[in-house]
Structure 1
Amino acid sequence: MPKPKRALKPIPIFKSEAAEREFWETADSADYVDWSAARAVRFPKLRPSTTAISVRLPDTLLAELKILANERDVPYQSLLKVYLADRIATERRQQRRRLEA
């Protein structure tokens, strides 16, 4: 026999985005939203926000990076991001293994 649906609480009106954020950090959304009616969506053009930084690299390292990027037909900054992401993922995996041992 299926469970009877419980009544959802009304979502409050918020005075600011900060107040709404604070509310949802502690509230259980299942009390306010019927997730059984939810459906998966995709946002293919959504890009993560980025922050510009300045990194000083030796000229030879930058030249090698640009050569590798040119061989792969990608911008050197994009290749650098891929290399950094790969290395961070490797470091995190090693860290998890050390903690599990």
Structure 2
Amino acid sequence: MSKPTKTVPNFASEAQERAFWEKNDSADYQDWSKAKRVVLPNLKPTTKTISLRLPQHLLDSIKAAANARDVPYQSLIKVWLQEKLHSH
């Protein structure tokens, strides 16, 4: 059974809209029972920061390889790890 919904007002600014939604329940303005799930395939996955200890000569070699490809060394490490993972 659908609940009658109120009309969302027009906002002059994003700050005004933010203030409105902080004080109002969206269920009064939207019938969430009719909502559909969406897939957003182009979103980047969440990343997690890690600490990795490498011998200095290995890190220098990775940085040189990244510099030769004109990419950040951390990005190159991620590409190499992904490639290695998929090769098994």
- How would you bin the TM-score normalised by the shorter chain? 0.5 to 0.7
Question: Aligned residues: percent identity?
Answer: 49
Q: Which has the higher helix share?
A: 1
Structure 1 residue 43: Cα displacement = 5.3
- Give the one of 46, 53, 70 matched to 1:73: 70
- Give the one of 70, 80, 84 matched to 1:83: 80
Structure 1 residue 51: Cα displacement = 0.2
1:54-99 CA-to-partner distances (Å, cap 9, x unmatched) read 01000000000000000000000000000000001112xxxxxxxx
Structure with bigger RCO (C-alpha 8 Å, 6+ apart): 2
- Give the one of 48, 59, 69 matched to 1:51: 48
2:62 maps to amino acid: L
Q: TM-score, normalised by structure 1?
A: 0.47
1:12-58 CA-to-partner distances (Å, cap 9, x unmatched) read xxxxxxxxxxxxxxxxxxxxxxxxxxxxx8654x2110000001000
Q: TM-score, normalised by structure 2?
A: 0.53
Q: Which runs of 4+ in 1 moved over 2 A?
A: 41-44
